[in-house]
Structure 1
């Protein structure tokens, strides 16, 4: 089969090769990959600043995939040949709280990912792909949509009428705006781009704040919420901006830390956290059962993923470069094109 292999850190060392098609073992599915989507995690792995000491070489990168089961190993009962499935990042996190070693069983690093014509999934980690979505659309779900869903619905227990703040207009934030809007919540979005703010408003955001125009954007959030702050903030940026996230969130509210676009370390001002009694919760995607709950919701509300561009398999490097420039929603690679 054709596969992209990361031989060393840096995009120049991500190269296409012909390798043996894997054979499914007991409990495993052989999936013909239809499409994959890119996340910041994939870029960080390729460029060597995401747990570089854990990255095996060569590695088939990219965790998020959708495709069709073409063969099954012994004992498989959850899926059959012909079923369309999604991958799930944490291949052994099925339900409940995560185990301490969940990162050791992630697809796309350290386990092989989906940037290939075929991939192996264990039947217990695979998820039925939404019937109303193409492979290109379904491939956007495993990290971006599921992180948003878990933070809002499972951890945040979002209620209709509450208010959510989303940062930027990347994949997680766009999905969060769509999910929160469909659930009857109010959505405030931040971005440095007025055009993107108008686009996310069309998808369900109620207000937009340009953080270049309003560098003290948390104060603007307070103005929009009558001084109260939002119920849930999804912080995708990290870095020292976490202090504004705390300020923008109501007393006893939730800041869901889901990303590190602006840096993996921060100087946190503890006094506002203490006096506002803020819950700061790290979110690293979700268990598979959360994925099982999310897909029917997306189906019921006919939520369509926002895809900025679909690249061909041969143009994977161009897709990574596009991700580095930024995108509204998701960047997808179609394996069959």
Structure 2
């Protein structure tokens, strides 16, 4: 076997091993909890209420797609449906692939769907993630104030993240001037393209911020409502638990499918609210299954439904 063949097989074996470990741990947790106890909370939620929660989750995915489309309005004008498909596939891959490797799908799909180069889309992805993290932390601040008070860790995060997007926006022009003063070259043009991908006006900046907050408010309130029906929790505690789980999907530490890391995030966030470990783990696992199920449902919807104005040249992920 050649060294190149060995190097291509090694990552696949590593990925397979990670999935085996994650699914083995999941199976062990389900056996420990008991399938009946795990499913029992779902029997208390009516089908119309659960359907509404799923609709709201899909709506949050649509808001993410609108954020992308409105950000790249010149290139993506009138192409909401392909943008929704791209965004939904990106979310699905992000949920299931480990260590944030699903993020790679965003520049890949933007190139495939809209021929936008990575030099333009990767900086925007990082910009979106900064806005996402800020929104989650500030919503978590409200939950902490309404629940058990404000932990020191939240104070540090708020101090860092509250001004961060504004500072990046304000620094953009100065950074561009510094890069433009450098000698011509491949890296100079790429860096200029990357900086030019950041918000170019106050309206552009506020629009991205507004779509981000709309998405996260709907998503986190929906997850908090579901979690409050899965465990004996008030809305503030449930919101804290939902934020704890979702933070693990934004930060670099992410197991295959998020199994283990998502549950840990929920349980850590719920710890101050006095819920025992067994009920906390059951609720966290059920919430995680709801998140994965909603992302799979959204992917199925955009895969099966064809919009009337869908462009003929669009290619699905995986096609060449």
TM norm. shorter chain > 0.5:
no
- Which structure has the highest helix share of the two? 2
- Which structure has the highest strand share of the two? 1
TM-score scaled by length of structure 2:
0.25
Larger radius of gyration: 2
Bigger relative CO (Cα 8 Å, ≥ 6 apart)? 2
